[in-house]
Amino acid sequence: MKKTETMTLPESYTVGSEESITSVETDLVLHKSTIYFLKSDSIGQGSEELGKVLIKSFFYTLAEADQVPGTIILLNRAVLLACEESPVLESLLALEERGTQILSCGTCLDYYKMKEKVVSGKVSNMYTLVELLNSATKVVSL
């Protein structure tokens, strides 16, 4: 989505010594190039119970945030988060509604025999995931 906005500056605003600016045109390209990259169905190491509480809290908070990531990539046990009975399913669905792309590794889903139980997002492959990671302006790994 592209948005053009005109902003009027005070007449006394000058650039350099000779040029006065009365208006500025800016092109704002609205894109979400931040990717969240998850490898587990919990956060951190140590207590698995605490890690599962943290992942649920993280996704709830992320879904409620003013800005949401463009993409969430789920690898290894993290693919379970997008499947039936996931404790974060409601949050993932809310993120999808707000425009976040949820991608789960197909190989990982096959390994856990969960491909038929995916509820949120799409099944993807490593080529697509690597391409997205390489083109992202920011990757947050959990």
Answer for the pair 106, 123: CB distance below 8 angstroms, yes or no: yes
Estimate the crossing angle of helix 89-97 against helix 48-64, to 10 degrees: 20
What residues does each domain of the chain span?
34-141
* Rounded percentage of the chain residues whose pLDDT exceeds 90: 77
CA-to-CA distance for 122 and 70, rounded, in angstroms?
A: 14
pLDDT value at position 32?
61
pLDDT value at position 123?
99
The pLDDT tens digits for 39-64 are 999 999 999 999 999 999 999 999 99
pLDDT value at position 67?
93
Here the tokens at position 134 are 């390489």
> What's the average model confidence in pLDDT over 82-100?
98
Distance separating the N- and C-terminal Cα atoms of the chain: 29
Answer for the pair 138, 67: CB distance below 8 angstroms, yes or no: no
Q: Judge residue 77's burial from the number of C-beta atoms within 10 Å of its C-beta, 0-12 exposed, 13-18 middle, 19 or more buried.
A: middle
Answer for the pair 34, 142: CB distance below 8 angstroms, yes or no: no
CATH architecture of 34-141: 3-Layer(aba) Sandwich (3.40)
pLDDT value at position 33?
84
Q: In the predicted model, is pLDDT for residue 137 greater than 70?
A: yes
Beta bridge partners of 2: 29
Distance of CA 85 to the CA centre of its chain: 22
Q: State the average pLDDT for the chain.
A: 85
User: What pTM, to 2 d.p., does this model score?
Assistant: 0.77
CA angle 133, 118, 55 (to 5 degrees): 65
